[in-house]
């Protein structure tokens, strides 16, 4: 999952999720990047009992929103390689399993950020965050 933001200059953070379906565990990772592609912040975490990759993707976006809000970022660009998730976040489609998470994202969008835009990115553009996600899963206790 990729999220971009403006903080005086144009900047871009990255989000990606990798799911371990056998154990219903997902790794969430996000990298906030500045205009010169310098890391602003890196975070990763593991969630247990997540029932689908789509829910995991939405959780990654929500965690990224929290991180951006805590960094004082006001303008976000959120990119995803998952068109279903983009549709749900932009209210073009509804997915029952995402309703609570999407509501949290929309509440943050309207109360904390000046602007939030969503766009599609290709999976190969998330390699760095993908590696971070795989590492957090590999290093977590099963």
Domain parsing of the chain, residue ranges: 2-137
Say what the pTM is. 0.79
User: For 2-137, CATH number?
Assistant: 3.30.420.10
Positive/negative CA dihedral, 23, 15, 54, 47 = positive
Angle subtended at Cα 89 by Cα 88 and Cα 94, rounded to the nearest 5 degrees: 25
Q: What is the pLDDT along the chain (142 residues), one digit of tens a residue?
A: 544 444 444 455 554 444 444 568 888 887 777 666 666 788 889 998 898 889 988 998 899 889 888 888 887 878 777 889 999 999 888 899 999 999 999 998 899 888 888 888 787 877 777 888 889 888 887 5
- 8 Å CB contact between 82 and 54: yes
- 3-state class of 77 per DSSP? strand
Question: Quick one: pLDDT at residue 41?
Answer: 80
- Contact residues for 38 (Cβ-Cβ < 8 A; gap 6+): none
Per DSSP, the three-state class of 19 is strand
Sign for the pseudo-dihedral over CA of 62, 98, 47, 30 = negative
């Amino acid at each position: 999952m990729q999220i971009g933001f403006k903080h005086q200059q144009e900047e871009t953070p990255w989000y990606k999720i990798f799911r371990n379906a056998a154990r219903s565990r997902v790794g969430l990772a996000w990298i906030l990047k500045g205009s010169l592609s310098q890391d602003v912040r890196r975070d990763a975490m593991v969630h247990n009992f997540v029932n689908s990759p789509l829910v995991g993707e939405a959780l990654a976006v929500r965690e990224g929103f929290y991180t951006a809000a805590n960094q004082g970022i006001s303008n976000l660009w959120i990119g995803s390689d998952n068109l279903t998730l983009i549709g749900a976040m932009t209210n073009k489609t509804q997915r029952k399993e995402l309703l609570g998470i999407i509501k949290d994202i929309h509440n943050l969008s309207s109360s904390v950020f000046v602007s939030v835009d969503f766009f599609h990115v290709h999976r190969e553009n998330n390699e760095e965050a993908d590696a971070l996600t795989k590492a957090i899963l590999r290093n977590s206790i099963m």
